[in-house]
Amino acid sequence: MQILRTTKQATELVWQWRRRDASVGLVPTMGALHEGHLSLARTSVGQCDHTVTTIFVNPTQFAPHEDLSRYPRTLDADLEGLRREGVSAVFVPESDDIYPPGFSTSVQPPSVAQSLEGEFRPAHFQGVATVVLKLFHILPTTHAFFGQKDYQQLCVIRAMVRDLNVPIEIVACPTVRETDGLAMSSRNRYLNAEQRIRALRLFAALDAAEHAVHDGQRDAAAIERIMQATLLADGPEQGVDSIDYAKLVDAQTLQPIRQLDDRAVALIAAKVGSTRLIDNRLIDP
Ligand code: AMP
């Protein structure tokens, strides 16, 4: 497995593969890898001739008050996990190589970025879209793999690729969960034992929404109330500490719906202690 430190090395290696007509999969990550990330790498290794993973904690997608400085960094374990999956190369750039002095261009994210995360993390998707487009250029791969765990991010990237004619195939991969249902996340390691239990409320709320639909409920507002009540449970001792949103929206546009007629997605962002967790589930009426 090659470790690529510079954008120049990265581009040259991918072009070497592409000149031989090989398919190449890209798996962008911020490191602190868990089974969710590794499942993306595994899918790419299975589908493409070569896979390159990137590990870069992108500063421009964090707001000043967010967890950039304390974001977990576990490079040695990350590299070991990727080697085991059969990844061909890992790109671990320095921030200065990605954002050299004078850097001032950015991607205006598509309209699907405006609601939900866009309301609570206003500059987040501009940072994501910009760095992902840069990675697509630095590593001109044929495919790129993203997790459904970050459902809105996936929508943003698909829309950007379509709107800007980026010649790459986006592959969505299912959310990998702990055995009790908690969606794997690099941020789960911030949770203490008591918070880890309360974090399960997100999964419980998605279950409650799905059951309500199964029992015939079609009113989006009623389903959202069920999710909120499940998230809060009996107050802060058992429930989450605060809810940013718990919404049922159109699965493609992420626009609000009144009635569940078409495929929808339930999306939650909530805080347990100071840790902000997100999760989602596709819901088919
Ligand atoms: P991150 O390192 O959090 O930026 O995530 C990198 C990629 O891994 C993104 O495409 C995420 O959607 C994906 N990912 C993160 N957690 C999971 C998970 N539990 N299951 C599947 N994919 C995930």
pLDDT in tens, 234-283: 766 689 999 999 999 999 999 999 999 999 999 999 999 999 999 999 99
- For residue 30, the CA-to-ligand 1 centroid distance in Å is 9
pLDDT in tens, 85-120: 999 999 999 999 999 999 999 999 999 999 999 999
Find the residues whose C-beta lies inside 6 A of ligand 1.
29-30, 36-37, 39-40, 146-147, 149-150, 173, 175-176, 183-186
CA–CA separation, 133 vs 109, rounded Å? 11
Closest-lying ligand 1 atom to the alpha carbon of residue 185? 16
Its pTM stands at 0.98
Q: What is the pLDDT of residues 146-182, one digit of tens each?
A: 999 999 999 999 999 999 999 999 999 999 999 999 9
What would the pLDDT profile of 188-239 be if each residue is shown by its tens digit?
Answer: 999 999 999 999 999 999 999 999 999 999 999 999 999 999 999 876 668 9
